[in-house]
A = this chain, B = another copy of it.
Amino acid sequence: ELVTLSSDFFADKYLQNQHWVITAGPTREAIDPVRYISNHSSGKMGYAIAHAALRAGAKVTLISGPVDIAAPTGCELIQVISAEQMHKQALTYAPQATTFVACAAVADYRVADIASEKIKKDSDVMQISLIKNHDIVADVAQLAQKPFIVGFAAETQNVEQYARGKLMRKNLDLIAANDVAKAGQGFNSNDNALTVFSAIDKIEIPLANKHIVAKQLVSLINQHYLLKHTRK
């Protein structure tokens, strides 16, 4: 079932007239002016997808959390810090998109009361109270005018079960799952391996450089996008 690509595949601008909105990187949730909660996302996978979609001729809006890599030339870069900021930008741009790829590792929770001054360490123990953030990809899937929606699931166990649950519960078109507990792939790595689920399919994209994985994923997303579009 693996998508095979000819060497001159990207000579074809097969995404012309498509507008992809892609979220990438981590978010940071402030505890106080100095401290924050974040995660190990490097943004490499999302940026590679943006690059591949651009190469294939799409207009690309990249909504990115704080990362240390350069955005691909030609994309519209929207920089955000927190999950709430990313949520706002995603809901602004998604209604005009043909395709929405939620690759960012968005913080599920934010700090309930962000301290305006640096918290002093007076006590031996401390509690941080968190409240749930809006679910970006689920909210995009609730839009009246909604794009083709691809989610991501970075898991450390029960990968297929969690990914299929997320696909159905959030009403996504596709979900790309990876096992971040495996060495040499996922967060901060240059390589990745994905298992992509639709309601009926399961497609493996084997371990490779994230740019190679991204090219295959972009093609796969487009195939499913065209299928859905044709069926309508």
Contacts and interface: CB of A to CB of B under 8 A. Distances in A.
Interface in A71-110: 105, 107-109
A125 B130 contact: yes
Given A33-B156, A34-B180, A37-B31, A121 B108 contact: yes
Given A68-B68, A132-B121, A157-B117, A36 B37 contact: yes
Contacts of A33: 156, 180-181
A13 interface: no
Interface bracket on A: 35 or more
A66 to B, nearest CB: 10
A154 interface: yes
A132 B128 contact: no
A224 interface: no
B34 A156 contact: yes
Given A34-B156, A35-B107, 19 more contacts: A33-B156, A33-B180, A34-B40, A35-B37, A35-B38, A35-B39, A36-B39, A37-B37, A109-B125, A112-B125, A117-B157, A118-B156, A121-B132, A125-B130, A125-B131, A126-B130, A127-B127, A127-B128, A127-B130
24 contacts: A32-B156, A33-B180, A33-B181, A34-B187, A35-B37, A35-B38, A35-B39, A35-B107, A37-B37, A108-B121, A118-B156, A118-B157, A121-B132, A123-B132, A124-B132, A125-B129, A125-B130, A125-B131, A125-B132, A126-B130, A126-B131, A127-B127, A127-B128, A128-B130
The 7 closest A-B pairs by CB, nearest first: A108-B121, A126-B130, A128-B128, A118-B156, A68-B68, A35-B39, A117-B156
